[in-house]
Structure 1
Amino acid sequence: MNDTSGNKIAVVTGAGSGIGRSVALALAEGGWSLAVAGRRPEPLEAMAEAARAARPDAEVLCVRADVSDPQDVAALFAAVGDRYGRLDLLFNNAGTFGPAGVPVEDIAYEAWKQVVDVNLTGAFLCAQAAFRMMKEQDPQGGRIINNGSISAHVPRPNSIAYTATKHAMTGLTKSLSLDGRPYRIACGQIDIGNAATEMTERMQTGILQANGQLAVEPVMDAADVARTVRHMAGLPLEANVQFATVMATTMPYIGRG
């Protein structure tokens, strides 16, 4: 086990691209030691190289893992225990939107199940493994930050699988927050609206609105999300940001409907 005395240890899922990558880089620059997880090793290694370029002594463990696979999740957290000996933060970020623009009546069971398996079951499996570590380690405790979404509050047209899982994420966050109280485990949620990532490229070319029209929507830099997560992560365990919303200022969310 490496000597990481004085360091904080974080797991970031879905860290190879988008918000996960931005958050992992921000944490690394802030002095955190990382375990980054994703389904493809190459983007993880590229992220690790970027972290070391920004901070040459950055500690980054890359673990190929599909969060919807219980065995992969168990292996991920076992690797964290072997490498670092404890866990201070899980950023539960891995997710998928599923098939875009498919009406409710046309969604295939397999497509529905994939979204639920990644967004909800995957988040649960990672939170459960982190909870176990945080409860059993000495000193006890840690923090879980779940990546919710604006869709945890309001849906987009033809997004029933994604929206249902993100609403469920709010329940997961609340239950973890309550059940973690006796063990100094804090849990919060960041709800993100229109961060500029591969997943939101459609916003900049035109996306279906509730009135049936297509409209280009404003986006924000994913680094703005990363700064917010880093702030939440850096709080003492006696304080918790239960829910935070970070969004492009003029996106059509407030006033929708």
Structure 2
Amino acid sequence: MLVTGAGSGIGRSVTRRMLAAGWNVVLAGRREAQLEQSADKHPNALVVPTDITDSMAVERLFLAGIERFGTIDVLFNNAGIFGPAATIGELSAQRWQEVCAVNLSGAMFCAGAAFRHMQESGGGRIINNGSISAHVPRPASVAYAVTKHAVTGLTKSIELDGRPYGISCSQIDIGNAASEMMHDVGATSGALQTDGSRKVEPTFDMEQASAIVEFIATAPAEVSINNVTITAAGMPYIGRG
């Protein structure tokens, strides 16, 4: 398994869960020290510091994983950033490009490298970390919302194009797992609501989201799990707006 954004948050939680379950895991992310903390010296972990916005670096990442473990059967395409709190009128071109580079181009590069490898190896599974913002955005989050909507298109395209090769693609849409990103959103201190107010929102343990990723990763090849949405109970998602 290869996990991007493995140095923190959901990526770290999934990495440790899969290592504990006996999987070989390639850890990718920009910050080597944090990747090493996630790996915790596990013998089945391979740390490969990688900037996923660099397509050539992504190719080297997959080559390193294949050289160490022989094959990569599952990609958890997880790396992402929330970006600026801004409406479309406030969003600068530079900040837009920064969010697109990670959430969209980086996801595309990693999925493409995984797809090409899985074509040759006889199949596999790609799991994209979307967001509930792929369906219903937060106020003043246009860059994040647009890129996460695009991830949904990526998921569906991979699932369709991968059929002849035994490649399936799933998307997990998470709402308010207790990760560092929730601090960026302000969920624990007061997240912006559609009426302009701010509200402390409920969160849930990241381990529950990680369990869903493990469930998808371990599903038999003849099963495709298209989409799973998991949110904190009572969070303002259903009926948001």
TM-score by length of 1: 0.91
Kindly state the Cα deviation for residue 36 of structure 1 after the two structures are TM-superposed: 0.4
CA deviation map 1:62-105 (0-9, x unaligned) = 00101111111011011012111111100000000111x22321
After TM superposition, which residue ranges in structure 1, 4 or more long, deviate above 6 angstroms?
A: none
Instruction: Report whether the alignment pairs 1:142 with 2:124.
Output: yes
Mapped to 1, the partners of 2:116 and 2:51 lie a distance apart of 19
Amino acid paired to 1:192: I
Mapped to 2, the partners of 1:47 and 1:147 lie a distance apart of 18
Kindly state the Cα deviation for residue 240 of structure 1 after the two structures are TM-superposed: 1.5
Mapped to 2, the partners of 1:237 and 1:120 lie a distance apart of 27
Mapped to 1, the partners of 2:32 and 2:72 lie a distance apart of 22
Which of 142, 146, 151 aligns to 1:169? It is 151
Mapped to 1, the partners of 2:39 and 2:17 lie a distance apart of 12
Indicate the residue corresponding to 1:243 in structure 2. Answer: 227
Indicate the residue corresponding to 2:56 in structure 1. Answer: 71
1:9-158 correspondence runs (5 A): 10-49=1-40, 52=42, 58-99=43-84, 101-137=85-121, 140-158=122-140
Kindly state the Cα deviation for residue 37 of structure 1 after the two structures are TM-superposed: 0.3
Kindly state the Cα deviation for residue 108 of structure 1 after the two structures are TM-superposed: 1.2
3-state DSSP of counterpart to 2:174: strand
| Gaps in structure 1 of 5+ consecutive residues | 1-9, 53-57
3-state DSSP of counterpart to 1:176: helix
Instruction: Report whether the alignment pairs 1:200 with 2:185.
Output: no
3-state DSSP of counterpart to 1:203: coil
Q: Say whether the 8 Å CA contact 2:39–2:45 is kept in structure 1.
A: yes
Kindly state the Cα deviation for residue 254 of structure 1 after the two structures are TM-superposed: 1.0
TM-score by length of 2: 0.97
3-state DSSP of counterpart to 1:79: helix
Which of 194, 201, 211 aligns to 1:217? It is 201
Mapped to 1, the partners of 2:13 and 2:167 lie a distance apart of 24
Amino acid paired to 1:59: N
Mapped to 2, the partners of 1:30 and 1:165 lie a distance apart of 32
Which of 166, 170, 174 aligns to 1:188? It is 170
| Gaps in structure 2 of 5+ consecutive residues | none
CA deviation map 1:202-240 (0-9, x unaligned) = 201001000110000000111110001000100011002
Amino acid paired to 1:175: S
Amino acid paired to 1:19: I
Kindly state the Cα deviation for residue 166 of structure 1 after the two structures are TM-superposed: 0.4
Q: Say whether the 8 Å CA contact 2:129–2:171 is kept in structure 1.
A: yes
Kindly state the Cα deviation for residue 255 of structure 1 after the two structures are TM-superposed: 2.1
Q: Say whether the 8 Å CA contact 2:86–2:142 is kept in structure 1.
A: no
Amino acid paired to 1:87: I
Mapped to 2, the partners of 1:103 and 1:245 lie a distance apart of 25
Mapped to 1, the partners of 2:11 and 2:31 lie a distance apart of 13
Amino acid paired to 1:71: M
Mapped to 1, the partners of 2:90 and 2:135 lie a distance apart of 24
Q: How many residues align?
A: 239
